[in-house]
Chain A
Amino acid sequence: MFRQSLLKTLTVLAILAAAIAYTFTTGYFGKELVIEAATLAILAISLDMIAGYGGMISLCHGAIFGVGAYTYAGLTVLFEVNPFLAFAAAIVVSAAFAFAVGAVTARTHGIFFIMATLAFGQMAYVLVFENKALGGDDGLAGVPRLDVSPLGLDFNNSVQFALFAVAAAALSYAAAAWVLRSGFGRTLVGIRVNEARMKAVGLTVWRTKAIAFAISGALAGLGGAIAAQQTMFVSPELMAWMVSGTVLMVVIFGGIGTLVGPIVGAVVWVFLKHEISSATPYWHIVAGTVLIITIVAGGRGLYGQIEYMVERRRLKRLAAAGVPSTATGREDETHA
């Protein structure tokens, strides 16, 4: 079960502080990296919620992210809808799309579930790729950023936009943590651990799964709508299954089922990729090697491994102090 441990809070706050400090001191390109890391973190949090806690390994989160990006871009560019309205619509449409995916795939498990989500993602990709109104494979250019001039702000200023992206990532974490700590979040973990028994005690499992997908989809769509504003351009590549695969790698690399791990994973991933890509064209070989090492080393991930060790020490201390229970923090030991 999810527990907002001290380690989780401190790690999130440390990353938040570092991101803000870095945004103010780095050049233009550094800010672009901050925004990229923030949107990837939002998407990774969204995936970890249902994959790490709900046990649903989705391979369509890139597509949901893309639905958010395209909803925002399409409404603002083609229909000149108010960007704030388009932003809200992007979140709602992504959630609705994700709900449909969750509802339809709810009865499938394991490899079949993964394939079903992949199929959904590919359908969305092809739909956008072939749709001339949405720009086809050329995509849509001229996507505006949110107009925050009434607040005396300007999102075309890269510092302000980077801070906005970082704030959105922090809020996404808080929202996901809130949901996972609620009755609904407990139920979601119950389904991952023993779906049949949840049914036997009276739960309508498909509905919980579909709602979890919708909440996760809302976050993914939020990330997509921010990504569309960053580049002011959307293309079908946003929805390609490679994106879904990358997010899953980021989640595992950081620590699946820890919620903080995906943020750590996204930050390290984006900066590592930038550093290595500037030195060699073989970034993917390095990424693959890093992922294999992570999995062979126990699969807990970068943050997950640290949390595991900290938690084990804490439990030993409690046991030594004569506290027979592990009630206060089971969650961090395994991945739930």
Chain B
Amino acid sequence: MLEARSLNRAFGSLVVTKDVSFALDKGERRVVLGPNGAGKTTLFNILAGELKPSSGAVLMGGRDITALAVAARARLGLARSYQKNNLFGELTVRENLALAVATARGAAGWIMRDTLSDAGIAEDVRDAALAVGLTEMLDVPVDAVSYGVRRQLEVGIALSTRPSVLLMDEPTSGVGPGMIQAFHQLMHTLPRELTVLIIEHDMDLAFDVADRITVLNYGEVVFEGTPDETRGSPMVREIYLGEWDAHA
């Protein structure tokens, strides 16, 4: 469903993505692990089209999408959420979701009708709000909500477009244990045919939701396997525990 073929990307002499290849089946849940600076977000930016790779290709549903811009990839069903909240600040939660829903439904250019009062769009907005637990918050301005709510909305906007491939960049970064728990639940309620690629630091979450895990280090794929294989891998243990040691 989503495939990376020998992706390379360098910023000056710093190689951040080095010959990265992997392929996700339809409906697969893949978690990308790796210490800080391993090139995870850069990889996401390449997959979503915000960065062009120096070489290599990105394929979606077998089609080469390397040359497509962000918006064109989104229209093919590729959605992403961001590590740093990237919301419509002064608007309400409802308006945030409605903008995404309307765009995905091809209603963004309606001149004769209002997308905010359209029944079909309102239904998709409610579905997305329900999925990320924001039903009670719909009419609150984003500027007035807590950080946790913004994280929920960040994922909600991505889900609003009814994507076939969802990229989530550290969806639970900076939130408390309660919300991580809620996010576990969200992951299990997502449609089974939705292909998901997540960057995640929370190990419990990673092992809980992943079908397979890809580990990046210094821009390279150093390991790929099932959660069990990952847990048992001395190399992964060294990368992660080594880092923890260094910080301890």
Taking the complex as formed, is A136 at the interface, i.e. its CB lies under 8 A from any CB of chain B? no
Residues of A within 8 A of B108 (CB): 183-184, 186-187, 203, 208
Taking the complex as formed, is B63 at the interface, i.e. its CB lies under 8 A from any CB of chain A? no
Which of A25-33, A63-71, A193-201, A275-283 lines the interface with chain B?
A: A193-201
**A289 → B minimal CB distance (Å):** 30
Q: What is the bound-complex CA distance between A136 and B62, given in angstroms? A: 60
Task: Check if B157 sits within 8 Å of A183, measured CB to CB.
Answer: no
Q: What is the bound-complex CA distance between A190 and B96, given in angstroms? A: 8
Taking the complex as formed, is A327 at the interface, i.e. its CB lies under 8 A from any CB of chain B? yes
Q: Mark B145-178, 1 if CB is under 8 A from A, else 0.
A: 0000000000001001100000000000000000
Task: Check if B141 sits within 8 Å of A201, measured CB to CB.
Answer: no
Task: Check if B99 sits within 8 Å of A187, measured CB to CB.
Answer: yes
Residues of A within 8 A of B111 (CB): 179, 182-184
**A41 → B minimal CB distance (Å):** 23
- Contacting B109 at CB < 8 Å: which of A202, A208, A326, A334? A208
Q: Mark A55-81, 1 if CB is under 8 A from B, else 0.
A: 000000000000000000000000000
Taking the complex as formed, is B91 at the interface, i.e. its CB lies under 8 A from any CB of chain A? yes
Residues of B within 8 A of A201 (CB): 74, 79, 99-100, 103-104, 157, 160-161
Q: What is the bound-complex CA distance between A325 and B145, given in angstroms? A: 12
Within 8 A of B (CB), among A310-336: 324-327, 330, 334, 336
Residues of B within 8 A of A182 (CB): 110-115
Q: What is the bound-complex CA distance between A184 and B104, given in angstroms? A: 14
Residues of B within 8 A of A205 (CB): 71
Q: Please name the residue on chain B nearest to A207 by beta carbon.
A: B109
Task: Check if B138 sits within 8 Å of A184, measured CB to CB.
Answer: no
**Best-surrounded residue of B69, B99, B118 (most CB of chain A within 10 A):** B99
Task: Check if B102 sits within 8 Å of A202, measured CB to CB.
Answer: no
Residues of A within 8 A of B157 (CB): 197, 201
Q: Mark B60-98, 1 if CB is under 8 A from A, else 0.
A: 000000000111101100011000001111111011001
Task: Check if A330 sits within 8 Å of B75, measured CB to CB.
Answer: no
Taking the complex as formed, is A169 at the interface, i.e. its CB lies under 8 A from any CB of chain B? no
- Contacting B89 at CB < 8 Å: which of A194, A208, A211? A194
Taking the complex as formed, is B2 at the interface, i.e. its CB lies under 8 A from any CB of chain A? no
Q: How many residues of B contact A (CB 8 A)?
A: 43
Task: Check if A200 sits within 8 Å of B86, measured CB to CB.
Answer: yes
Q: What is the bound-complex CA distance between A1 and B116, given in angstroms? A: 10
Q: What is the bound-complex CA distance between A181 and B118, given in angstroms? A: 12
Residues of A within 8 A of B48 (CB): 200
Taking the complex as formed, is A38 at the interface, i.e. its CB lies under 8 A from any CB of chain B? no
- Contacting B113 at CB < 8 Å: which of A183, A198, A200, A327? A183
Task: Check if B89 sits within 8 Å of A193, measured CB to CB.
Answer: yes
Task: Check if B103 sits within 8 Å of A187, measured CB to CB.
Answer: yes
Q: What is the bound-complex CA distance between A1 and B114, given in angstroms? A: 11
Q: What is the bound-complex CA distance between A1 and B91, given in angstroms? A: 7
Within 8 A of B (CB), among A84-111: none
Taking the complex as formed, is A149 at the interface, i.e. its CB lies under 8 A from any CB of chain B? no
Task: Check if A336 sits within 8 Å of B86, measured CB to CB.
Answer: no
Residues of A within 8 A of B116 (CB): 1, 186
Task: Check if A183 sits within 8 Å of B107, measured CB to CB.
Answer: yes
Q: What is the bound-complex CA distance between A205 and B99, given in angstroms? A: 13
Task: Check if A198 sits within 8 Å of B99, measured CB to CB.
Answer: yes
Taking the complex as formed, is B140 at the interface, i.e. its CB lies under 8 A from any CB of chain A? yes
Q: What is the bound-complex CA distance between A200 and B72, given in angstroms? A: 9
Taking the complex as formed, is B193 at the interface, i.e. its CB lies under 8 A from any CB of chain A? no
Given A182-B111, A202-B104, do A1 and B141 touch, yes or no (CB 8 Å)?
no
**B45 → A minimal CB distance (Å):** 11
Q: List 18 interface pairs A-B (beta carbons < 8 Å), by A numbering.
A: A182-B110, A183-B113, A183-B118, A187-B102, A187-B108, A193-B91, A194-B87, A197-B86, A197-B87, A200-B70, A201-B79, A201-B104, A202-B161, A204-B71, A208-B109, A327-B92, A334-B90, A336-B90
Hey, which bits of chain B sit against chain A, CB under 8 A? 48, 69-72, 74-75, 79-80, 86-92, 94-95, 98-100, 102-104, 107-116, 118, 138-141, 144, 157, 160-161
What are the nearest 8 A-B pairs in CB distance?
Answer: A183-B110, A327-B139, A325-B139, A202-B74, A183-B115, A187-B108, A201-B100, A190-B99
